[in-house]
Chain A
């Protein structure tokens, strides 16, 4: 990640300190190595360089955290979807069971109703037949005795 990108990222995460980061982005970091009388020498690290190193370190930590957060949210999302799927399956099963029970109940109710109607019809016809047969027998009996 470049220095400017790091500054932009930090200013994004720390909006209260945005003016400081915008100032820092306007300063170009110095080269660490340079030659002196033909010798390749390392320049003394200034406070600014130290600050820059710290910022780079912080940026790396931010990136790691961001990655972890993303990974965590993805994990949560996957869990949630899995749970939702299992709940949906359970609901479908319950729905099927409910349909079966309902249809069975309706059929049973219809059966019972028809049965009771049938029984009631037969019950109403029985006394009339009995009376008729009794009367008929009573009328025929004395004639036979004489």
Chain B
């Protein structure tokens, strides 16, 4: 085996969850982690950080909040590093601005840890500037997402795109709803 590349994975949980949901798949974080940092491919995982935006502690968001808290507990128990941020109500919905936390954290971690590769598990184009910043620091930035969730700015800013469609295909179906993308009938990345 050649020289191992140190990989730092930063995942936007909401974006990735929605991407998996759009394919009617139950997101398997461990599979995603193993796929993105496979030691057999000479990729050595430093850390996988999952950024979770918690709904505000209001009655109407109670179910969502409990669900996310359960996920945070599970992720922490399974070796993931979890960064959570309390959300604020905005009309009927809420916002967490977890992307700002993720971007700042990514810069800080990347400069301290100096990984060879930073994998951004998101399709949000707000992270395009982050990708550019990291690349300017000599790091390879891979964006892991699916075509349907990937913003064009992020696609251009990244060093390369990792298509998660294949790994999504190996996940268990989430439910029987019909309103989702069919895997295998989409023109994935060029």
Known interface pairs A39-B36, A39-B142, A42-B42; A33-B2 also in contact (CB < 8 Å): yes
Q: How far is the CB of B146 from chain A (nearest CB, A)?
A: 12
Cβ contact within 8 Å between B2 and A40:
no
Interface size class of A (residues with CB under 8 A): 10 to 19
| Chain A residues within 8 Å of B162, by CB | 37-39
Annotate A6-20 by CB proximity to B: 1 below 8 A, 0 otherwise: 000000000000000
**B156 CB → nearest A CB, Å:** 14
A71-87 interface (Cβ within 8 A of B):
none
Residues of A within 8 A of B140 (CB): 40
Q: Does A102 contact B (CB under 8 A)?
A: no
A44 nearest in chain B by CB position: B1
Question: In the complex, what's the smallest C-beta–C-beta distance from A93 to chain B, in angstroms?
Answer: 67
Q: Is the CB of B1 within 8 A of A45?
A: yes
- Which residues between 18 and 54 of chain A lie within 8 Å of chain B, taking CB atoms? 32-33, 35-45
Specify which of A32, A39, A45 is in contact with B41 (CB 8 Å cutoff): A39
Residues in B whose Cβ lies below 8 Å from that of A35: 160
Q: Are A37 and B166 in contact (CB under 8 A)?
A: yes
Distance in Å: Cβ of B84 to nearest Cβ of chain A? 28
With a cutoff of 8 Å between Cβ atoms, the chain B residues found around residue A41 in the complex are 38, 41-43
Which residues of chain B come closer than 8 Å to A36, judged between CB atoms? 41
Contacts of A45 in B (CB 8 A): 1-2
B residues with a Cβ closer than 8 A to A are 1-5, 36, 38, 41-43, 116-117, 140, 142-144, 160-163, 166, 189
For this complex, 16 residue pairs linking A to B, each with C-beta atoms less than 8 Å apart, are A32-B2, A37-B162, A37-B163, A37-B166, A38-B142, A38-B161, A39-B43, A39-B142, A39-B160, A40-B5, A40-B142, A42-B2, A42-B3, A44-B1, A45-B1, A45-B2
**Shortest 4 CB-CB distances between A and B: which pairs?**
A42-B42, A41-B41, A42-B2, A38-B160
Please give 5 more A-B residue pairs, beta carbons under 8 A apart, in addition to A40-B142, A42-B43, A45-B2: A32-B2, A38-B160, A40-B116, A41-B38, A41-B43
